[in-house]
Amino acid sequence: MSLPRGFKFFSVTAGMATGLIAIPLAVSISNCKPYFMFAWDPFITKWNQFWRLPLLQLQFQNQSEVTIAVVITILKLKGLERVYGSLKMIKILILLYFYNFVLTTIVSFSLYRSIGWDLFIPSGPFGIIFGLYYPYMKYIPDVYVAEFDFGDLASSGPSGKSLSISISDRFSCQILYLMLFFSEGVPSMVLCTIGYFIGYLYFHDLVPITDSALGYLDPLYYKLTNIKEYESSVGAARFNSVQNSSTNDTAENESQAIDLADEDANGTSREDTPVRTFGQQMLDSFRR
């Protein structure tokens, strides 16, 4: 059985990739990018614009970050929805957004109040993308591993052993994450580190609120996705396949019974048929 291609059965990842493209495009067309900028001074201390904090993780500010995030989501993070399922994936994204919002606010405010460092926080779901990096590295297996053997060109020591390097498909993912990590300098490095730290705590069940606290989303999800109809259709398909196989088995048994009856009626069977020698078989071929 081959794995589904594209975004079939992966509606959450498809929505995430679409949002990473559509939201920045809509913000750019409507000329609303200034509303996604944040710094404690002057937006909070002078103008009391606390509504800027929830907007920070909704969209990236430049095209390169959008491209990197979309490629990571489509090629790498899609497998997480296969592991956890669509419903739990929704809960994971909501909780990563919430914890990044809380911890980013606390860290930036602490830096501003303690040492006077007003950290300019770039807009974008850096924390969410890096929060999913830990489960990707832990639960998604390698698709391929390429080993490069340099032979006598390099040696690992006086023993004379040849140097070989193994690279898996994770290498491309790590390069993309590294580019996103340094995309905005120190601010993006701080946000990505916070996101990875939250992902590590969340997937080790070290956070106070887990996906079990979002159980009220279950009936809404089942209602919107018509999961009962899907289960009934899958059950009907399985019943039809079982019924067809049983029908084929019955027909095969009936045909075998008819053959045995014919053999009994003729008074001969395959076991009673005498074995012909090789010479008799050759003579029969010339007689025909």
pLDDT in tens, 42-90: 888 889 899 999 999 999 988 899 999 999 998 888 889 888 989 999 9
CA 268 to chain CA mean position, Å: 64
pLDDT, tens digit, 9 for 90 and up, residues 3-18: 556 667 788 999 999 9
Maximum Cα–Cα distance for the chain, whole Å?
112
- Report the share of the chain in percent with pLDDT over 90: 40
Q: Residues 238-247: contacts with CB within 8 Å, 24+ apart?
A: none
Domain borders along the chain are 11-225
Write out the CATH class of domain 11-225: mainly alpha
DSSP string, 35-49: GG-B-IIIIITTT--
What global pTM score does this model have? 0.73
Q: Averaged over 236-245, what is the pLDDT?
A: 50
Q: Averaged over 180-200, what is the pLDDT?
A: 94
The residue written with tokens 């095209």 in the block is: 63
Max avg pLDDT among 165-174, 192-201, 272-281: 192-201
Please, what is the end-to-end C-alpha distance for the chain in angstroms? 49
What separation in angstroms does the CA of 122 have from each of 115, 167, 187, 250? Answer: 20, 32, 7, 68
Which of these, 67, 185, 60, 77, lies nearest to 126 by C-alpha position? 60
pLDDT, tens digit, 9 for 90 and up, residues 166-183: 888 888 889 999 999 999
